[in-house]
Amino acid sequence: MRIEEDVKLDYSDVLIRPKRSVLTSRKEVRVERNFKFRHGAKSWEGVPIIAANMDGVGTLSMMKSLAKHKMMTALHKHYEESQYEEIIDEYAFVSIGIKDSDIERLQQMAQTKSIRFVCIDVANGYTERFASVVSSVRNICPDSVIMAGNVVTGEMTEQLILSGADIVKVGIGPGSACTTRYKTGVGYPQLSAVMECADAAHGLNGLICADGGCTSPGDVAKAFGAGADFVMLGGMLAAHTESELESVIKDKKEYLEYYGMSSKKAMEKHSGGKADYRAAEGKEVLIPHRGDVENTIEEILGGIRSACTYVGAQKLKQLSKCTTFIRVNNQTNNVFGLPT
């Protein structure tokens, strides 16, 4: 046992210090980025925000709405294969786990369809099997862009990139519907995780996706400022019309039930129930119906553009180079009313 004395920070522990800028309007800020990938063929250009591969977030309806803004969606892995015909290839990840059945399913899909983006998703990316699965998927889909996670440290980020991942998904426990830190005591403050994993990935020409912990547009700006290439959002995009969830009427108000994919509800829905050897590591919460996701997208993109003007970044790509964080008393700006 040992204790690391270095201070680790979450988004709520810092603010971005403003700097002089020659920008005169938010309109001047370019939020699209162009990426070339270490392994995957072709380049990609768009707004590097990804809807999380969760029920109520990573839906086909969400994909269609976000694609209008050149934003991406990691589809949840519980769609029937026939439904993947609706995929907009440039803006959708096909999500899988690491079971043998997941790999077999991907192999079958790859025989009939060119898969542009693959998301390999597990709660714990530190198992030996996970890196092995990344290598296997790279062999099955040699030209695909592979995103894999989740991890929170530089050495495992490097391992996944060397195993065949183009993008490493960073975050353990920060999600608004996740209780991993509470149930297990395991985790890593998200801002520090993003900074450290980005440093490791970029040295190998890899990329990272900051996954979880954003409860406001300002948090998204902080993630990009910390070096994230992509930012994945769950709770901020949940409970919209595009969620494809049944509504609940309570006190004459409409709600949608948002839940983590390791929650008891998710396991009952997709796995036949919670196994007796594990604990549920996700929340189930009611969020007021927010209407179409369009308004939320405008708030997020508007916040990012404004952050860029405050520090003089003409392009989103420049934000991390222009960002200086200052430590503050731990505060939250949870404008979306997400659980904490």
Could you list the active site residues?
Answer: 178
- What are the residues whose beta carbons fall under 8 Å from the beta carbon of 302, sequence distance 6 or more? 26, 217
| DSSP percent split of the chain into helix, strand, coil, nearest 5 | 35, 20, 45
> 248: which 2 tokens?
């609940």
- Helix 154-163 / helix 128-140 crossing angle, nearest 10 deg: 30
Q: Which residues contact 216 (CB under 8 A, 6 or more apart)?
A: 236, 303, 333, 334, 335, 336
Q: How far is CA 18 from the centre of its chain?
A: 26
The residue behind tokens 């509470």 is 182
DSSP 178: B
Question: Which single residue is written with the structure tokens 């768009």?
Answer: 46
Burial class (CB in 10 A: 0-12, 13-18, 19+), 276: exposed
| Closest residue by Cα to residue 196 from 166, 171, 230, 221 | 171
8 A C-beta contact, residue 327 and residue 14: yes
The helix (H) or strand (E) run that includes residue 147 is strand 145-151
Give the burial class of 329: count Cβ atoms within 10 A of its Cβ; 0-12 exposed, 13-18 middle, 19 or more buried. Answer: exposed
